[in-house]
Amino acid sequence: MQSLPQPSVLVLGHSFVWHLDKFITESSLSCVTTNFQLPLSPKVQFSGIGGRTVKKLQKFDLPVVKRFQPTIILEIGSNDLCIPNCNVNDLATTIFHLVQRLHFDYH
């Protein structure tokens, strides 16, 4: 039987990600682990910068994706919703295009 490769999870986003990383790192709770107690013990990396929007993420943070080569990426877009007159349809389209780029350019 062939074993599955260890998955890698990149939690990419804004200050929520930074705070989550800090909480997990500093927590003494046994139920809080750096791999979220997921099967196959994934390698998890956090990359959160305060104020990140999807466009800033596209402009500045894609090298993190290229270096880490994650299986899964989580948490983007909520800072964009704080922008006055944010058009949710435009945001959804921007996120969709980012996901396409991540899928096709970074596999």
* pLDDT, the chain, mean: 86
Please say whether the beta carbons of 94 and 55 come within 8 A.
Answer: yes
Residue 51 lies in a domain: yes
pLDDT digits over 69-101, tens only? 888 776 777 888 888 888 999 989 988 998 899
What average pLDDT does the segment 3-12 reach?
Answer: 84
Domain annotation covers residue 1: no
The confidence score (pLDDT) of residue 2 equals 67
C-alpha to C-alpha distance for 77 and 1, rounded to whole angstroms: 40
Structural domain boundaries enclosing 24: 8-106
CATH of the domain at 78: 3.40.50.1110
Q: Is residue 77 part of a domain?
A: yes
pLDDT band with cut points at 50, 70 and 90 for residue 59: very high
Q: How many domains does the chain have?
A: 1
Q: Please, which pLDDT band fits residue 40 given cuts at 50, 70 and 90?
A: confident
Q: List pLDDT tens digits, range 16-32.
A: 888 989 998 898 888 88
Mean pLDDT of 31-56: 86
